Amino acid sequence: MTETTYAQSATGAEVHTTHIQEPRVLSMQQALNTALDEILASNTKALVFGEDVGHLGGVFRVTDGLQAKHGSSRVFDTPLAESGILGLAAGLAMAGFTPLPEVQFDGFAYPAINQIVCQIARLNYRSRGTMPMPITLRVPSFGGIRAPEHHGESLEALFAHVPGLKVVSPADPHQAYHLLRYAAASPDPVIFMEPKARYWQKAPVEAAPGDDLAGARIARHGRHLTLVAWGAMVARCLQVAELAAEDGIDVEVLDLRWLSPIDGVTLAESVGRTRRAVVVHEAPLTSGLGAEVAQLITASCFDTLRSPVERVTGFDVPYPSGDLEDEYVPNVDRILYGIQRVLEYKRG
Amino acid sequence: MTETTYAQSATGAEVHTTHIQEPRVLSMQQALNTALDEILASNTKALVFGEDVGHLGGVFRVTDGLQAKHGSSRVFDTPLAESGILGLAAGLAMAGFTPLPEVQFDGFAYPAINQIVCQIARLNYRSRGTMPMPITLRVPSFGGIRAPEHHGESLEALFAHVPGLKVVSPADPHQAYHLLRYAAASPDPVIFMEPKARYWQKAPVEAAPGDDLAGARIARHGRHLTLVAWGAMVARCLQVAELAAEDGIDVEVLDLRWLSPIDGVTLAESVGRTRRAVVVHEAPLTSGLGAEVAQLITASCFDTLRSPVERVTGFDVPYPSGDLEDEYVPNVDRILYGIQRVLEYKRG
Amino acid sequence: MEPLPAEELLGLYALMTEVRHLDRAAVAWQRQGIIPGYAPLLGQEAAQVGSGFAMDRTLDFAFPTYREMGVARALDVDMTGYMATHKASWHGGLYNPVTSRLAPIQAVVAGSVLHAVGWAHGQTLAGESGAALSYFGDGASSQGDVHEAMNFAAILRAPVVFFVQNNGWAISVPTEKQVAGGSVAARGAGYGIPGVTIDGNDIEAVVHTTRWALERARSGQGPVLIEALTYRRGPHSTADDPGRYRTLDEERESAGPDPMERLRDRILGAGIADMEALAGMEREAAAAVDQVRIKLTGLGTQPGAEMFNFVFQESTDSLNQQAEQWRKESDHD
Amino acid sequence: MEPLPAEELLGLYALMTEVRHLDRAAVAWQRQGIIPGYAPLLGQEAAQVGSGFAMDRTLDFAFPTYREMGVARALDVDMTGYMATHKASWHGGLYNPVTSRLAPIQAVVAGSVLHAVGWAHGQTLAGESGAALSYFGDGASSQGDVHEAMNFAAILRAPVVFFVQNNGWAISVPTEKQVAGGSVAARGAGYGIPGVTIDGNDIEAVVHTTRWALERARSGQGPVLIEALTYRRGPHSTADDPGRYRTLDEERESAGPDPMERLRDRILGAGIADMEALAGMEREAAAAVDQVRIKLTGLGTQPGAEMFNFVFQESTDSLNQQAEQWRKESDHD
Ligand SMILES: Cc1ncc(C[n+]2csc(CCOP(=O)(O)OP(=O)(O)O)c2C)c(N)n1
Ligand SMILES: Cc1ncc(C[n+]2csc(CCOP(=O)(O)OP(=O)(O)O)c2C)c(N)n1
Ligand SMILES: [Mg+2]
Ligand SMILES: [Mg+2]
């Protein structure tokens, strides 16, 4: 994966290659901001819009300074209507633009679902490839910030089930920077789920992606079992892995990254080695993406699996208020229990 | 499960027990129409509304004659706006009514998703049980009728992932009649997915439900493997079972009925006996409800399963036009291939 | 209002004649099993042909619903490719939407109204001067997306013309139970955009008003909302039975004079052409429709592989594997 | 417009004083870490207290957003239960919405507007005579649901009053970039319903207009749309920094006179009460707010089991099992 691959404009717009040249320590918010800045600079057809993304720079400051730098035609506030924002994006894509709309919070993607599912995901298909939808929809996602209702949700299972969408979530600043540039260069619609609980932690962003951005990645190598996670749960799983190591348990952490399409090859390779897996996600259990991941693992590793794949997830309840958040989001204890279950499993 | 159980009104409205007294041969459309008629007669708080459900009696005639009989206050046409219909339902539920709204076709539930997910599914929770939502949303669902775009879709995975919703789909007229009465008596919101390809086939409807309506049911007993299906796929699986029987393969067909909550006990019991399972659904493969079913089976039957659970489903493509429908919806051949795969599976 | 030149009137009459023939033929084809379904536009020919005719096809772009066959014909779209949607070949139709200046056929009521606004705003951003023409119905006007579209369009001053065909019905629901206040056009004022009501069965009024609105939009003066009053003379679709919700007497009364007859009388009255010339047009229309029938029946079933081909610009391994498995399992017997 | 009786003016002043105290206190509590966040209503006290005060609590029902603390107080809602939402105890608040005649606090912009229409239509169907009062903002007016709600309400002639607080801002976006045409009230005409613009900082105008609208609705004359012009003097929420999008000078200019000072001047000018009496009200308000603080800080953390308890009226085996597992895994260390 070279830089030019993802600096290419899907719509044939002139592309000036703009890219960080040396490692920088950035928060995810800064990494995303840098990526957006460079996307706007290198693809003259790129547009950033949504609620409060202009002057204010977004409620999480991810678009901070972009309007001042790139102008209010290319970075603009819309009225407060998510269906309108996504419908506008579809029309702009038809006109040859590369829209990067934002939905302010996960829970406010619902009013736009009709435009996302019935229009953006299908216009390439409906038009037999003549009207591509190179749209990257940024959605601050997942929980963990003690926010009001509808500000802490995980919609990946919904999006991953929609044919015509690709879905990705970065786990750290380096991933955020490279995956956003990769997504924005895609000729297909990508839902970009930003783990808002991780916006502020700093870490190095390298100039080179480091691996093939199209698939999953092993965030930590281990021998005894594989923890599969994405978004904010990757950091938590890495933390769990350190704790487990104290008990002599060697945990592999697989950062799935792409929630659609899922990288079944890396999954099979990892669990083929470790023979045990736990999937961790914040979304409710039932019909969550963990079921798909578990079934993909089981189908490919049926003979070698030593125990059923475990799921440690949010419960089948609405995302709760701050008081109960730490009870809802998989915490270290619950993940350790999941690990214990797969390690202690005995055939009956 | 006795009649009175589901003739109870969730909202405490006066209930006159009205119910078919002897077996009748009905199409599913007639069975649903009969059930709605009786619900309106027995629960004075019940209301039927949606697009074209009044005078016209619905595009599938499921509400035929109900306005003439019960009046245009209780059975009424709304303007053409699905979010409006569901938002109205939520408000009417707050006012003590038992709304039975209709969304005209599966694909037109998307504009209402915000009201369904963020409001109807959560108002009981948000209000700490003081504002129940005894809403039964009828959605003509699934494919098979060579219809225009957005008229053949399967949204069960989306609905089943939403905490606060219950989801059910009947496979035949008897199930349709009893499950609709059961759903309408529920104090919780139920998404009622009607397999539109099965509206017109007639079959006997018995006065007694015949089993516990709250769970799954075995539609055909068999020894060699379990086919798990719902909606229109149940009839197809029964047909496959007959064909397989000619080759000496004894197929059990499990009609899941409730897509949320899923009856894990019946699943485990069946596959515990047959040791092999194939899940069949019309929705796309990835993140479909088949993943959840497969994972539930694997988790409960890990030691006895002889092969990984197979999924025979729609592809990860938008539901296609009539020309390609029979290629998309699981057909007899593809289900037979799935059966072959689980039967011929050999540990590597 | 200047009368239209004679050759334009004749051109419009020829188009309307062909559209009416094709419309009637399509209903017959459905009965004959040639196509599984169809949504007739009978009675809406003036609104559709007139507005499509008013477009500048080098600049403008139209966004239809599922009933705009007359617009498609006026834009000179390949009619076999257009009708293929009703043959269940491909949802969006088999014509090329980009070169045809007609977005793919669209079944979600109000689904494409926002796309028109987005495309139009794209014209502004790109410094181009086309206008978008957004078609929708009285029923669709109830959808939230229409409100969002009008508000966005007015805020962005986007060059878009909202063209509402108020044909009196949304399937079985009459306008008075659909459109509170009785007028879609009146809603324009609430967004600060001109809302104009026209007789949608008077093709000259349709052409003039649409031209005016498109020019206004192109010249940077922002969106316009046109409500063309017309009447759906046929059923909602071939699956519908209007006898269940309106009587023939009611139909006759509400429909008013036939837009085709009006144009014919206008042409004959002004001595622009004689009956014979018009009869010639009828024959040409019949021949053209016959060609469509021949090509349409000649269209084979779409190959199953097409299901997989257009999902993405860049397909995925997982999808390719599904296509591969499908191929294996459907080759077999 | 008849002036309000003296005791009503005094009652309103007492309510507004308490609301202002509680509002300022809540901002302080956020800084002190007592609550994680808060959305102040500073400057909107007249619009909120006046409209809530105009309700008949035996008949009517209010549907708030997330900023209607002043409405809640005017309706005599348990303010600890109300403020609990900002302590992150429970999203909808811990008050009983049914007995309070105030629907649960609601964070989806425009989410509850349709509920008000549904509840109001329920009054018609049940032969009862209450009216619904639906609160939303200038930003919310852009949502499709608001359009659908107004159209439904007018078609159904539902007894609902739409009360828009146009406070000039939706987070950082000013009304002129939000509301095309500049007036939410003007949109009423498009639905055939009265749209009234009032000075939302004039509490007498607010009380009079809301009473008139509620009475009109209750008597079967259909919905009314009121746009109360006011100003959000504080940040959008305690997480917001208005300095990024407006200057203090702009604030001063746009905000106009403080609604509280206006009522105080009115009361003093008319000799209804003297400064001392008003100072007494301030002391009572401070004491009441202190009580809320004590109760709020005394509120323990919600027990985790509550997550599972209210999902359904009839819980499910699967959910019960999850609750059981949660219990086991969180008792442990
Ligand atoms: C969002 C959505 N809801 C429902 C339908 C089903 N439906 C198809 S056409 C129609 C009526 C549309 O009426 P109108 O907008 O007036 O257009 P007309 O059919 O009269 O041309 C309905 C309800 C749909 N296609 N899309
Ligand atoms: C559907 C939805 N989209 C976005 C948001 C995020 N958000 C919360 S408040 C707000 C601004 C609301 O403005 P307005 O309606 O004028 O109310 P105000 O805050 O001024 O009281 C936004 C964008 C939301 N809560 N709901
Ligand atoms: Mg119509
Ligand atoms: Mg505001």
Distance CA B104, CA B102 (A): 6
C305 in contact with B, Cβ within 8 Å: no
Q: Which of B189, B210, B316, B308 lies closest to B255, judged by CA?
A: B210
State both tokens at C173: 């629901």
Q: Kindly state the average pLDDT of the residues B98-103.
A: 98
- Assign 3-state DSSP to chain B and report helix, strand, coil percentages, each to 5: 40, 20, 40
pLDDT greater than 80 at residue D95? yes
| Mean per-residue pLDDT of chain C | 97
pLDDT greater than 90 at residue A3? no
pLDDT band of residue C2 (cuts 50, 70, 90) is confident
State both tokens at C251: 């139909």
Mutation site for C-interface testing, chosen from D147, D177, D197 by largest number of C Cβ within 10 Å: D147
Question: Which DSSP string do the residues of A5-57 spell out, in sequence order?
Answer: HHHS-TT---B------S-EEEEHHHHHHHHHHHHHHHBTTEEEEETT-SSS-
Contact A323 D171 (CB under 8 A): no
Q: Which residue of C has its CA nearest to B105?
A: C108
Q: Which residues contact C213 (CB under 8 A, 6 or more apart)?
A: C161, C194, C196, C224, C226
Distance CA B153, CA A161 (A): 12
pLDDT in tens, D293-304: 999 999 999 999
C129 in contact with D, Cβ within 8 Å: no
Domains of chain B, start order: 14-205 (3.40.50.970), 217-344 (3.40.50.920)
- D144 burial via Cβ count (<10 Å: 0-12, 13-18, 19+): buried
- pTM for the predicted model, two decimal places: 0.97
Q: Are strands D173-174 and D169-170 parallel, antiparallel or unpaired?
A: antiparallel
| Mean per-residue pLDDT of chain A | 95
Alpha helices by DSSP H, listed for B227-303, are 232-246, 264-274, 289-301
Q: Kindly state the average pLDDT of the residues C324-329.
A: 95
A275 in contact with B, Cβ within 8 Å: no
Q: Which residue of D has its CA nearest to C143?
A: D148
Contact B323 C244 (CB under 8 A): no
Q: Kindly state the average pLDDT of the residues C316-322.
A: 98
State both tokens at B271: 């596959």
Chain C, window 188-247: residues with a beta carbon less than 8 angstroms from a chain D beta carbon? 188-193
pLDDT in tens, B151-181: 999 999 999 999 999 999 999 999 999 999 9
Chain D, window 15-34: residues with a beta carbon less than 8 angstroms from a chain A beta carbon? none
Find the helix or strand (DSSP H, E) in which A69 lies.
helix A66-70
- Minimum-distance CB partner of A295 among B114, B295, B302: B295
pLDDT band of residue B348 (cuts 50, 70, 90) is confident
Distance CA B226, CA B272 (A): 10
Alpha helices by DSSP H, listed for D78-174, are 79-83, 97-100, 113-126, 144-156
What is the model's pLDDT at position A17? 58
pLDDT in tens, C80-111: 999 999 999 999 999 999 999 999 999 999 99
pLDDT in tens, D103-139: 999 999 999 999 999 999 999 999 999 999 999 999 9
Domain residue spans in chain C?
Answer: 6-302, 303-333
DSSP E strands in chain D: the ranges are: 61-63, 132-137, 160-166, 169-170, 173-174, 195-199, 224-229
| Mean per-residue pLDDT of chain B | 95
Find the helix or strand (DSSP H, E) in which A140 lies.
strand A136-141
**DSSP code for D218:** I
Query: For residue D244, how many other CB atoms are within 10 A of its CB?
Result: 14
Q: Which chains touch D (3 or more CB pairs under 8 A)?
A: A, B, C
Contact D191 C180 (CB under 8 A): yes
Q: Which residue of A has its CA nearest to C143?
A: A83
Find the helix or strand (DSSP H, E) in which C161 lies.
strand C160-166
* A51 C-beta closer than 6 A to ligand 2: yes
Distance CA B271, CA B254 (A): 10
- What is the Rg, in whole angstroms, of the alpha carbon atoms belonging to chain C? 21
pLDDT in tens, D262-294: 999 999 999 999 999 999 999 999 999 999 999
Distance CA A163, CA C153 (A): 30
pLDDT greater than 70 at residue B231? yes
Catalytic, B19? Answer no
**Up-side HSE of residue A76: CA atoms within 13 Å toward CB?**
19
pLDDT in tens, C218-276: 999 999 999 999 999 999 999 999 999 999 999 999 998 999 999 999 999 999 999 99
pLDDT band of residue D261 (cuts 50, 70, 90) is very high
pLDDT greater than 80 at residue B6? no
pLDDT greater than 50 at residue B3? no
Class of domain D6-302: alpha beta
State both tokens at C282: 């009828």
**Contact residues, chain C, for D189 at CB < 8 Å:** 181, 186, 189-190
pLDDT greater than 50 at residue B63? yes
Distance CA D161, CA A212 (A): 57
Q: D158: distance to nearest CA of chain C, Å?
A: 12
Distance CA A15, CA D76 (A): 61
pLDDT greater than 80 at residue B226? yes
Q: Write down the ipTM of this complex.
A: 0.97
What is the model's pLDDT at position A16? 44
Q: Are strands B46-50 and B98-101 parallel, antiparallel or unpaired?
A: parallel
What is the model's pLDDT at position A297? 98
Q: Which of A60, A44, A40 lies closest to A52, judged by CA?
A: A60
| Distance from the first to the final alpha carbon of chain B | 47
What is the model's pLDDT at position B4? 35
Q: Kindly state the average pLDDT of the residues C108-118.
A: 98
Distance CA D89, CA C264 (A): 73
pLDDT in tens, C276-303: 999 999 999 999 999 999 999 999 999 9
pLDDT greater than 70 at residue D15? yes
Query: For residue D24, how many other CB atoms are within 10 A of its CB?
Result: 14
Are A140 and A150 spatial neighbours (Cβ–Cβ below 8 Å)? Answer: no
pLDDT band of residue A1 (cuts 50, 70, 90) is very low
pLDDT in tens, C139-151: 999 999 999 999 9
pLDDT in tens, A230-247: 999 999 999 999 999 999
Choosing from B19, B151, B174, B281, which is the catalytic residue?
A: B151
CA distances in angstroms from B274 to A80, B156, B310, listed in the order given: 54, 26, 14
Contact C313 A132 (CB under 8 A): yes
Are A253 and A219 spatial neighbours (Cβ–Cβ below 8 Å)? Answer: yes
- Which residue type does D24 have? R
- C157 burial via Cβ count (<10 Å: 0-12, 13-18, 19+): middle
